[in-house]
Amino acid sequence: MRYRELGRTGIRVSEIGFGGEWLERHEEEESVELLRYAHEKGINIVDCWMPDPKSRDIIGKAMEGSRESWYVQGHLGSTWQNGQYVRSRDMKDVKPAFEDLLRRLRTDYVDLGMIHYIDSEEDWNRAMNGPFIEYVHELHEKGIIRHIGLSTHNPVMGRRAVETGFVEMILFSINPAFDMRPATDDLDSMFIGYDQEAYSGIDPERASFYHLCEEKNVGLTVMKGFFGGRLFNKEQSPFGVAFTPQQLIHYALTRPGVSSILCGYDTKEQVDAAVRYETATDDEKDYASVIAHAPLHSYSGMCTYCGHCRPCPVQIDIAMVNKFYDLATAQDRVPESVLSHYKALEHTASECIGCRSCESRCPFGVKVADRMAQTEKLFGC
């Protein structure tokens, strides 16, 4: 298992994580065993947004004796009322729900205290003005939550979170289908009336959000990476083609700022399928060819950092150069941090010899040599 720094938290999380929302579908001991099995495979991060007692108890039992080797995303604002999940900012519900989380997880802290599910301006105002956010900061100051995070499906709200300065990481929904759609505060309506239209590349708002996270060193963990399994079935996939787990995991992990993708599991075999990514070949991880040959997409000229352009005869890491170029041009001026990281590359765009051999390999027809010239002009090397 490979591990990545989660933004500026100082935490190193497994590339493959555990999204816990399916745990309650099985007998308790079966789910406890599944979590422990995932941990044996190197998975060290688990998300617990679920307020139901069963799910929380399962995670607590699974971590018993190994708490220090797990990183927990525990959500504030996810409450259990009359046997149902309710998203709330009311402290009479929020505080007991978080105290219940700690008790059932058998711990006195969570590593990542998640401001739960902020998708709209109304959500933001309710959470960020008043006793709810005061409680979050109080818990942080006491060390009960080690780092402050936030979950959202909306890149506009994600950007707002980054700009607070105190949100250190974000749980965000990332997959090829979501990335093609504009920001919305209603995830359920994202694909209504859209199945027969062609995609037009990554939505600029989402691309800008990813780059901002990388620039500001705000870590991203990924939810909904498989679109609830729809992307495994060409009849349900908005692209009209099916992807594999390895392809979707690779897609998420190649987005700027991403540290871990939190997959949902029902069985040990599904854990194995996800962890198999760590030893997968480039061909097995190749999402770009799937998108490029999909009947419902238009991605021409856009770099997805997929790596098909390799190898470069002068050893330029073309995908990384393109990533820094996109990150820089998303701002009014080139940030010093981006310039510094770009100049630290072993080979920069100025070394491009214009052979264009990489262009013949690009699934999306990116004019790589032209991009290298633009990058050299922008960064000066």
What's the rounded Cα separation, in Å, for the pair 239 and 224? 16
Cite the DSSP H helix spans in 41-169: 53-63, 91-105, 121-128, 131-142, 155-164
3 state DSSP class of 87: strand
pLDDT at 229: 84
pLDDT at 236: 77
pLDDT at 140: 98
Residue of 273, 275, 303 whose CA lies nearest to 288:
303
What average pLDDT values come out for the chain (381 residues) when binned by 10 residues? 97 97 90 97 97 96 97 97 92 97 97 96 94 98 98 95 97 91 64 49 87 95 90 83 95 96 94 96 92 67 77 90 81 78 90 89 83 92 91
3 state DSSP class of 110: strand
pTM of full prediction above 0.95 = no
Phi-psi region of 227 (alpha: psi -120 to 50; beta: other; left: phi over 0): left
Which helix H or strand E contains 381, and what residues bound it? none
pLDDT at 196: 42
100-139 pLDDT, tens digit per residue, is: 999 999 999 999 999 999 999 999 999 999 999 999 999 9
Q: Tokens representing 207?
A: 């691309």
Residue of 319, 341, 343, 339 whose CA lies nearest to 329:
339
pLDDT at 195: 46
Strands 16-19 and 110-115: unpaired
pLDDT at 290: 87
Report cis status (omega within 30 of 0) of the bond before 311. yes
Q: Tokens representing 138?
A: 């109080």
pLDDT at 293: 77
Q: Tokens representing 323?
A: 């990533």
pLDDT at 338: 81
pLDDT at 186: 67
pLDDT at 336: 79
pLDDT at 221: 98
